[in-house]
Structure formats: structure tokens, C-alpha cells
Amino acid sequence: MSQWIRRSTRLAVYLRDGLVCVYCGADGRHGGAVLVVDHLVPRVLGGGNDPGNLATACWTCNARRRAVPLWEFVAGLDDAEAIRRRVRNARRRALPRQEARELDQDPPDWLVALRERSDAGRRPDPLEPPSEAFHLWPVAAP
């Protein structure tokens, strides 16, 4: 099983999900969110790269979820049922593969910007301390 998801498949997942995070609704096209593809069943728990197991997530939700099962991740959230509904609806829709391939051939400005944000979000400089934006969890004082 390949570890990589093709760029056109990644884009097709984003398009299928409306370019928004299925968990919090952060907008990757107009709102500036960094989008990533999330595995609904994490790879470490046996999930694969089939489209039904992929969903659009913002960087923050993806980092908070980690490899936690989806039901466990949403259980403590106020809008758990709305998240379950968005995920179910996303999984039912077909991937717009042809549209993704066409956009990939001649990417519009919004797609170039989205990819730049996503690439920057996935590859922080390991030699630099994390910025305030990367502190997702409160740190307890010693």
C-alpha cells in the first residue's frame, strides 16, 4: 500500500469537501486555512488511501486529532453530530477527479496560494523554535 496520495487525488478530495475542513469548517480557499488530507481511519489503525477514507482537514484539526479514532475525536466536541454528518456526506460524494486533473494542469491563483500555505504548514523548519501559532495545547507551568 502506497504511503503517498497523488497531488490530483489530494485536490479532488479538497474539491469534493468544498475546500473546507470537515471538522471545523475552516475555509482553505477564501479563509486562508492550511488544508491537509486526513485519514478517517488512521493509517496506524489500518486505514488506507482509498477516497472513502480521506477527508479534508485544516492543519490545526489534523494535528489535534493525530491517530485518534474519529468517533473518539468528535465525542468530546460540542458539534459532534454536525461533524459526523459532514463526514458522512463527504464520503458519499464522488471525487471530482477530472476537475482536479484539469486544475492541476493549469492551477488558478487560489490553488497556487493554497498549495503554498499547505506546503509551509507541513514543513516547519526544524532548526527554528515553533511559533505561537503552532502551540495547539496549553502547556502546564512547572
pLDDT digits (tens, 9 = 90+) for 70-92: 889 988 788 899 999 989 998 89
Q: Please report whether residue 131 resides in a domain.
A: no
Domain assignment present for residue 141? The answer is no
Residue 29, in any domain of the structure:
yes
Overall domain count for the chain: 1
- Percentages of the chain per state (helix, strand, coil), in multiples of 5: 50, 10, 45
In-domain check, residue 134:
no
pTM exceeding the 0.85 threshold for the entire prediction: no
| Closest C-alpha among 15, 18, 17, 21 to residue 34 | 21
Of 79, 84, 58, 56, the C-alpha closest to 69 is 84
pLDDT tens across the length of the chain (142 residues): 456 788 889 999 999 999 999 999 999 888 888 899 999 999 889 989 998 999 999 989 999 998 888 889 988 788 899 999 989 998 899 999 999 999 989 999 988 888 887 766 554 454 555 444 443 333 344 3
Asked, for residue 133, whether it belongs to a domain, the answer is no
Confirm if 10 and 23 have CB atoms less than 8 A apart: no
Cα distance between residue 128 and residue 132, in whole Å:
12
**47 domain residue, yes or no:** yes
Q: What is the per-residue pLDDT for 3?
A: 65
- Compute the distance between CA of residue 83 and CA of residue 22 in angstroms, rounded to an integer: 7
**Domain membership of residue 119 as a residue range:** 7-123
Q: Is residue 137 part of a domain?
A: no
